[in-house]
Structure 1
Amino acid sequence: MIERLVRHFYERVREDPLIGPVFAARIGEWEPHLQRMFAFWSSVALMSGEYHGSPMEKHLPLPVDAGHFDRWLALFEAAAREICPPIAADHFLERARRIAQSLEMGIAAGQGVLLGRDERFRRTGS
């Protein structure tokens, strides 16, 4: 189910006009990335310990803000609702929301912006 979810989600990501270009600029070969994401989501959802990496480090230099994370979550939710039984989709989405919030806060801090409660990171001109 994780592999189906991840593949379906990234098919949508690659077609998306907002976040697709962010991924396309950084991922030359999709299959190795998908394999890492299978391990990542297995670790996040099932606590399998399969993923060994630093997601924050990979995301800090990205030119993204709250709007990108909102779109990422919307695409992920749509994919999860299509692929997973409701209880599994809810489980994935709860974790995805935490991950998005953490990455957004980290990226903001990396730009010298400390977000307060319920604040979102918006890049200048966004």
Structure 2
Amino acid sequence: MNTTSNFAEVHAQSMARLGLDEAAIHRLVHGFYAEVRQDALLGPIFASKIADWDEHLERMCRFWSSVAMMSGTYHGNPMARHIALPVDAEHFDRWLALFEAAATKTCAPDAAAHVIERARRIARSFELGIAVHAGALPARGQRFHRRTTSPVQQGDLS
């Protein structure tokens, strides 16, 4: 057995132990975005940017499959799609709360922990990228708040 096929086998076993597969990703993504679309804070932002929800959900299933399961099915630049959005720490906190609730509801416990950890990393990265794009450079442990146009000391997204 070569290294590539050995890795693939070990990886498949890891995902099976977690209870993570494409069906779990589908449930997570669809459950999460059902909540986002109804959310008073996030819903209007998503509604203003997404014309075709079926296409978006399909893309997000590929994205989360790639992020969580290393499937390689997503090819894109998500930061570029988010960099100019009018969001800040408050939005990322809400996004994470909804994501964590959806993961806990739709995934096995180990799978939920796995995707939540990745979502937290993504949120931290996006918040920093958006802050820098807006002309702010939050120090470690600081959060980006647009209403003050400067970072405010708070806990980080982890």
Normalised TM-score (structure 2): 0.78
Give the aligned partner of residue 18 of structure 1.
41
Which runs of structure 2 are paired with 1:1-126 in the superposition (5 Å)? 1-124=24-147
Q: Secondary structure at the match of 2:129?
A: helix
- Work out the CA distance in 1 between the residues paired with 2:108 and 2:25: 12
Q: Over alpha carbons, which structure has the higher Rg?
A: 2
Q: 1 or 2 for the larger relative contact order (CA 8 Å, sep ≥6)?
A: 1
- TM-superposed CA distance for 1:125, in Å, is 5.5
- Work out the CA distance in 2 between the residues paired with 1:61 and 1:109: 11
Task: Render the CA deviation track for 1:22-81: whole Å, top value 9, x for unaligned.
Answer: 000000110000000000000000111110000110001100000000000000000000
Distance 1:98 1:50, change over 3 A: same
- Work out the CA distance in 2 between the residues paired with 1:118 and 1:35: 34
Q: Which runs of 5+ in 2 are unaligned?
A: 1-23, 150-158
Q: Which runs of 5+ in 1 are unaligned?
A: none
- Work out the CA distance in 1 between the residues paired with 2:148 and 2:32: 28
Task: Render the CA deviation track for 1:69-115: whole Å, top value 9, x for unaligned.
Answer: 00000000000000001100000000000000000000000011111
Q: Secondary structure at the match of 1:120?
A: strand
Runs of 4+ in 1 over 4 A off after TM superposition: none
Give 1 or 2: higher strand fraction. 2
Normalised TM-score (structure 1): 0.98
Q: Secondary structure at the match of 1:121?
A: strand
Q: Percent identity?
A: 60
Q: How many residues align?
A: 126
